[in-house]
Chains A and B, each alone.
Chain A
Amino acid sequence: MSEDSFREQLEQPLTRRQVLHGALVGGATISAGGLLSACGGSISPAVLVPPPIEPIKAGGSVRIGATGGGSKDVIDAHLPAVDPDIMRNWNLYESLATRPANFGPLQMLLAESIEPEKGSAKTWTVKLKPGLEFHNGKSVTADDVIFSINRIIDPKNPKVGATSIGYIDTAKMKKLDNLTIRIPLKFPNATFPDDIGQYFNAIVPVGYDPNKPVGTGAFMYESFTPGQQSVFKRFPNYWEHPKPYVDQLTIIDFTDDTARVNALLGGEVDAIDNLPTGVIAELQGNKALRVLVSETGEWQPFTMRVDKSPFNDVRVRQAFRLMVNRPQMIEQVLLRQGRLANDMYSPYDPAYAASLPQRHQDLEQAKSLLKAAGHEGLAVELVTGPIFQGVQAAAQVFAQQASAAGVKVAIRQVDTTTFYGPNYLGWTFAQDFWATRQYLPQVAQGSLPSSPFNETHWADPTFIKLIQQARAQLDESKRNEILLHAQTIEYERGGYIIPYFSDQVDAYSTKLTGFEPAKSGFPLGNYWFKNVGYKA
């Protein structure tokens, strides 16, 4: 099959999906499988069929099988690292605001509003919803917000979120009244509400003790054993009445994918996240189970260090992007469970530069660029590891595709701790994975010299200037214009190769209902088990 014909067929459902996006929630079904089967492939991907909306009843106990986990599991609101940690986090704690499952406009959680002061993105006012309660009965106040932010940024013991909101001028934070806080920033940032709303920036009560975890989430702590399981019970005073529906939630760690799937098949758990691609078809044929497919903005890039030979020559980076046969990679790595990407991230941001032409494999162009750069017969080392589902397979496919352009890619497999060892963020050519984010928050995480995870060592002066301008710009359409320029620079000269956005695939027992697809890439509908219950 030629790359072009396949690409058209892949693109078609994508645009249809976007057009029909609004209708999806109402229960429309789109058969991407039907379109894809026309090209003669034998496997058709699980399609995006939103689960039916069914009446739900209160009560019961739900057991969820989570991927991975081990003795380093944590329950601290500000230190989530692995999948079960994040799952616990979404259910025990809450931040001020979050992106909803469809990644539309920010949805307020604990905050009633997060507004810039006097038309400047440099100072923000957060107003809390009145009458909110922590699990221990204490009401949620401005002091708790200030305490939480200080706990996250604490320079002596910075937490996960320190990199996302480190620009808050903590010394000048001010409680205006019991429910209102003024939060000044060190520089103007129009995306502050997105940053403060990340799940790892949850609000905890003053004097929070991670050994007796207290939050505002839909479920309350009952027990937690690292690497094994955690048991939570329903928080009766949860603000979003009548949620949550179930009385008890048990999260069980599974080191092995097969064991997790078997536990679901055997009825030892009621839902599992991250269905291995190989068993999707089998589980779809099982009447007792439902497969939940979510289209997401998750991306697993190849990272080229723009300051290191050979990638310090922009022509080499361009050649590498042209060597990739993206549709083939989607087919072989994701078994078609993904969508074409264009070396840019944040597809759900209204600022996303969809107008830039889709990049296709062009081996002749790639070869001539490499020749011009004096790198004919180039040999590079690609560092990979089991850091995310599919990345090692993607490395293999990349190496094979690159050989067609005369580039020899030696793959170096390392274990996760070595990958994140002393050479982390220093590898010349490696891989990584990112969740769905809006553009500016993502730039703050990975595309500025000040970013904590700038794995490509990207430091383009024009780009930096544009980002600073965009951050200070509160008018969305003007901001998006600036961001189009910024993305064009990354599209032309950046250090990422982004072949696709991967789907999130989970499964659950048909006895349950309430799961909805989430573009965030967080499994099982944003891990929001407050929406889930037994069918009435």
Chain B
Amino acid sequence: MSKFLIRRIIFGILTLFLVSIVVFAATQALPGNAARAILGRSATPERVAALTAQLHLNQSVASQYGHWLGGVLSGNLGISAATQQSVAHLIAGRLANSAFLVLVAAIVALPLSIGLGVWMAVKRDRPADHVLSMTTLVLAALPEFVIGIVLVVLLATNVAHVFPAVSLVPPGEHAWDEPSVVVLPAATLVIAVTPYISRIMRASMVEVLESDYVTMARLKGLSNRVVIWRHAVPNAIVPAIQVSALQLAYMAGGVVVIEFVFSYPGMGAQLVDSVANRDVPVVQALTIIIAAVYVILNLLADLATILVTPRLRTAGR
């Protein structure tokens, strides 16, 4: 077990290192640099030259990368080219906002979708199952921005004014200081991810419910509740854990579309902005963080899988 953990952590760090190289190379391949991005339409040769020197963009690519890596290893994410503020300062607030949004969405979506999946499997082929299966299929097919805009129309602008239409978080404050701004973005995320997880859960639950040991448990006279939650669910949940991890990582990467629709000050919009600005230090920092979240969530999902699967749990011994 600990051997497995150490190996995975080493691989994770290696992955992050490779990601940083690939992303850095990709930013170099983009035409234009931060100086041109900042000047935009007024990019006269004189002003580009002055600003390029000011931003130290005239160093070689290798030395820029080396400089960045050295900084990161000593805990310094560098200075944003576009704002001249420290990257850590620039992204800290947005990171917190994104984390809060994902947390709220996950707390609602995970139990909801597991519960729904189990319920659909238990009610298999009955009207409730058909209706829910159809609904989840339709919702899974809808792009997030459609869900977001429908929610805005229903709850913020045209029909009822219950929640704010856009999530304006004053600088210096966080999303949790004004929790009403999180409701619609989080609801959109919940509606977007629940169908996937619940359908996976339903499928594997259906399979497990048909297995011999469940029939055996029923024949032994165990209550329906014990059969489902003690015997069936732990065995059916593995695929759902894996899918949940992927969905969570996807949300953590900053669901750009949702941040745009609600003007939510999260990581995704910042990343898009920084790519457009060719703001390499910020792009690097954000992609490394997103990659790290993927690595960690996958690791956690694998650990959870091992814990619920006795065969795997004891394999290493």
Interface residues on A, range: 35 or more
Partner of A228, one of B50, B82, B171: B171
Asked if A256 and B263 sit within 8 Å, CB to CB, the answer is yes
Contacts known (A226-B83, A422-B31); A263 close to B168, Cβ less than 8 A: yes
User: In whole angstroms, what is the CA distance A223 to B156 when docked?
Assistant: 28
| Residue numbers in B under 8 Å from A432 (CB-CB) | 41
Asked if B279 and A258 sit within 8 Å, CB to CB, the answer is no
User: In whole angstroms, what is the CA distance A172 to B203 when docked?
Assistant: 83
User: In whole angstroms, what is the CA distance A71 to B164 when docked?
Assistant: 24
Interface string of A372-409 (1 = CB under 8 A from B): 00000000000000010000000000000000000000
CB of B32 within 8 Å of the partner chain: yes
Interface string of A72-111 (1 = CB under 8 A from B): 1000000001100000000000000000000000000000
Q: How far apart are B139's CB and chain A's nearest CB, in angstroms? A: 20
| Residue numbers in A under 8 Å from B171 (CB-CB) | 223, 225, 228-229
User: In whole angstroms, what is the CA distance A262 to B153 when docked?
Assistant: 9
Partner of A71, one of B41, B149, B282: B282
| Residue numbers in A under 8 Å from B272 (CB-CB) | 255
Partner of B38, one of A72, A163, A259: A72
Partner of A254, one of B37, B41, B263: B263
User: In whole angstroms, what is the CA distance A473 to B89 when docked?
Assistant: 55
Asked if A420 and B263 sit within 8 Å, CB to CB, the answer is no
CB of B194 within 8 Å of the partner chain: no
Contact residues of B between 30 and 66, Cβ < 8 Å to A: 30-32, 36-44, 46-47, 50, 54
CB of A25 within 8 Å of the partner chain: no
| Residue numbers in A under 8 Å from B36 (CB-CB) | 417, 420-422, 424
| Residue numbers in B under 8 Å from A42 (CB-CB) | none
Asked if B164 and A266 sit within 8 Å, CB to CB, the answer is yes
State the main secondary structure of chain A at its contact with B.
loop
Contacts known (A223-B171, A416-B40); A158 close to B278, Cβ less than 8 A: no
CB of B152 within 8 Å of the partner chain: yes
Asked if A417 and B166 sit within 8 Å, CB to CB, the answer is no
CB of B274 within 8 Å of the partner chain: yes
Partner of A417, one of B37, B42, B157: B37
| Residue numbers in A under 8 Å from B149 (CB-CB) | 258
Q: How far apart are A432's CB and chain B's nearest CB, in angstroms? A: 8
Contact residues of B between 270 and 299, Cβ < 8 Å to A: 270, 272-274, 276-279, 282
User: In whole angstroms, what is the CA distance A252 to B170 when docked?
Assistant: 10
User: In whole angstroms, what is the CA distance A329 to B269 when docked?
Assistant: 33
CB of A415 within 8 Å of the partner chain: yes
Asked if A71 and B157 sit within 8 Å, CB to CB, the answer is no
Partner of A268, one of B31, B37, B165, B273: B165
| Residue numbers in B under 8 Å from A387 (CB-CB) | 41
User: In whole angstroms, what is the CA distance A259 to B31 when docked?
Assistant: 29
| Residue numbers in A under 8 Å from B30 (CB-CB) | 417-418
CB of A47 within 8 Å of the partner chain: no
Asked if B279 and A71 sit within 8 Å, CB to CB, the answer is yes
Q: How far apart are A266's CB and chain B's nearest CB, in angstroms? A: 3
Contacts known (A71-B277, A228-B171); A82 close to B161, Cβ less than 8 A: no
Asked if B152 and A158 sit within 8 Å, CB to CB, the answer is no
| Residue numbers in A under 8 Å from B31 (CB-CB) | 414, 417-418, 421-423
Known: A158-B44, A420-B37, A420-B40. 15 other contacts (CB 8 A): A71-B82, A81-B40, A157-B54, A225-B172, A228-B169, A259-B263, A265-B165, A266-B156, A268-B165, A268-B166, A387-B41, A417-B276, A418-B32, A422-B31, A432-B41
Which residues in B have some Cβ–Cβ distance to A below 8 Å? 30-32, 36-44, 46-47, 50, 54, 80, 82-83, 90, 149, 152, 156-158, 161, 164-166, 168-172, 260-263, 265, 269-270, 272-274, 276-279, 282
